[in-house]
Amino acid sequence: MGNKLFAHGFRGVRASSPVFISSTRGRAFLLLVMLLSSMLLAACGQESTPVPPTPTPAPRFQQENNSDLFFTMNIPFNWNKNVLDANTVVYTPPDNANLGIGVVSQQIGKLTPDSRRLLEQRVDQLKSRFSDLKQDVGGGGTLTLVDTAISVDRLTYSSNNIELNQYITEANNVQADRAYVLFGVTPSKDADTYRPLYFDCFKSFSSTANPVPAQNNESGVADPTVVAANLGGKIRPTSGNEEKGKVLRLVEWETPPLNANLKTPRIKGLFPYDFGWRLRPYPTPTTPAIYLDSPVVDRTTNQAVMQISVFKDAFPSGNPTEDDWKKFYTPLLNTLFNQTITSYGSPFNVKIGDVASSGPLYRAPFVAISNTGELNSRGFVLFSRSGTHGVVSVLSLSPVASLKQDLVDGFDADFQRMVNSFSVSFNG
């Protein structure tokens, strides 16, 4: 078949044809002229330019085997490793601080496959720092890890006058009770370039955490406490008891257990109606706490964010002295300043006022200024107690609300009324 196709190309021209012979002689003559020309050029000292060898392309990725956070993943070649805290690592290029890819790794008991708890914790932290942050759930697309398709959220916000995109997703190793958040940050103008790079890195991710022994054959999926912790919800009254505050409608409500595994503690009291709630350890990864955010009022931001933590038996008795109070709030205020409140700006741009008693609780105001000199937030830290248990409550206002003194005063008064109503129970 092949020979027939090749022969068809010469159909009508025999090998003895004068046309064929003439053409062959012409090609031979042309080849002889070219050979003589190259010999003459060499004799005159003109040599052909040598062709350099093709360079070996630089590798695109390098594999990171992180034994501290229990994962392996491809990282862009020559990007620097930066450990942010015990649970977070970020890799950045040496010449561009606005690019980065990172992993958050944390053990979470009775983890469900589709849990987004750790992801939402990170988003909550970013919302506190970047008031213009918008979250497009699933807007980043989807990717496949092993045999599971997971969605990627796209976050948009600005930092130091640079518009940024962050692609973020959660991958869970249920057998090891370990959750991972994978994220990549890029200037919005470069998103088309770096989004594919980050997704290629995400696809290479693998958990190296060892499975934990099964306990009582309980399934996190069937545990309503864990489901509540993962999904959160909206605050709705549990009784007819409510108060109209200066800004907020306060209704009686009881939190779910703040520690989903231990199913304790709970807080009962007055809470802001229609605020979103989510369980989130604060200010340390082991402190049981709840995170509240107000409904969006201007289509982009929440007016207020509240974070309430419980410390079991923080006081030696139900009648603490002034020294007992100081021993309680002093180290916590340092923790809040160094790890949490300073996320609004550099430590030099956050000012915390003196702690002073305000009725049965202690109160400290704070102001956060961005690196460009703009007001980022105003808020208050309240220290209270329920019996021997300590409670730390932080209120952070949006930049718009922080500029309106009547809103600041109203939130301050309602927040104190809330915290004074709290009753903490560690009974299962």
35-71 per-position pLDDT tens digit: 444 444 444 555 555 555 555 555 588 989 999 999 9
* pLDDT score of 371: 67
Rounded to whole angstroms, the Cα distance separating 181 from 172 reads 9
* pLDDT score of 381: 95
87: its two tokens: 């649970």
Rounded to 10 degrees, the C-alpha dihedral 322/324/330/333 comes to -100
> Residue with structure tokens 């090891």?
176
Rounded to whole angstroms, the Cα distance separating 220 from 172 reads 13
Can you point out the beta strands (E) in 86-239? 88-92, 100-107, 134-145, 148-159, 162-173, 178-187, 206-207, 233-234
Q: What angle do CA 77, 83, 88 make, to 5 degrees?
A: 100
Residue from 316, 321, 307, 271 nearest 382 by CA: 307
* pLDDT score of 197: 94
Are the C-beta atoms of 321 and 310 separated by less than 8 Å?
Answer: no
- DSSP annotation of 264 reads -
Rounded to whole angstroms, the Cα distance separating 117 from 111 reads 9
| Neighbouring C-beta atoms of residue 3, cutoff 10 Å | 7
| Neighbouring C-beta atoms of residue 65, cutoff 10 Å | 9
107: its two tokens: 């053990």
Are the C-beta atoms of 274 and 295 separated by less than 8 Å?
Answer: yes
* pLDDT score of 48: 52
* pLDDT score of 422: 97
User: What is the reported pTM?
Assistant: 0.59
Strand pairing class (242-244; 249-254): antiparallel
Low-confidence ranges of the chain (pLDDT < 70): 1-59, 214-231, 296-302, 338-348, 371, 428
